[in-house]
Amino acid sequence: MSPFAFDALLHQYGRSVIYVKRNLQFRCSCYVERSGEATLNCYKCLGTGYVTELIKWNVRSRQGNIPLSMPNAFEFTSMGHFGNEAHIYYSAPSLTPAIGDYVLEVQWDKERPMRIMQKMIISFVDPKMFEQNELLFYQSYARKMVVNEGDDHILQRY
């Protein structure tokens, strides 16, 4: 399979989500330098503390569990650690997913996102290579986050 064939496959069988890409060079106006925290329900950054860009992302996905052996992919609790229910996204190499960025599963009204159904945070990115070390696609593991009241306001920027 070539990268072009994978793009065609996504175009035919994929679906659209919103990718929230953080710009790690610029802090959001909600970020408080003194405490090192951002406002949890900020409508500009979704609590990441960084300036964000909303990108329509064509993906194929499936639900699964994140193996506990993957770094950054599990949560710690007072009872130890556990694997979360996860989504595994398959995407073209035109957009490079990054750990800590968000994927928003949204309800669409034609070409306009209307409501956030699920919010996922990317925990692990696995680039899949083709012959001669050519990048074919990305396989990204993302775990569920709580959709906060007011998160839908970020969709107005799309």
Global pTM? 0.84
Query: Is pLDDT at 22 greater than 70 in this prediction?
Result: yes
Residue-level pLDDT at 90: 94
Residue-level pLDDT at 63: 85
pLDDT digits (tens, 9 = 90+) for 65-82: 665 555 554 454 444 455
Both tokens of 109, joined, read 């009204």
Residue-level pLDDT at 14: 92
Residue-level pLDDT at 78: 47
pLDDT digits (tens, 9 = 90+) for 25-81: 999 999 999 999 998 888 899 999 999 999 999 999 988 766 555 555 445 444 445
∠ CA 124-128-132, nearest 5°, is 145
Print burial letters for 74-98: b (CB count within 10 Å at least 16), e (below 16): beeeeeeeebbebbbbbbbeebebe
pLDDT digits (tens, 9 = 90+) for 100-151: 999 999 999 999 999 999 999 999 999 988 777 888 899 999 988 889 888 9
DSSP secondary structure code for residue 78 in this structure: T
DSSP 1-69: --HHHHHHHHHHH-EEEEEEEEEEEEE-TT-BTTTTB--TT-TTTTTSSEEEEEEEEEEEEEEEE--TT
Domain boundaries, the chain: 3-65+83-157
Residue-level pLDDT at 8: 84
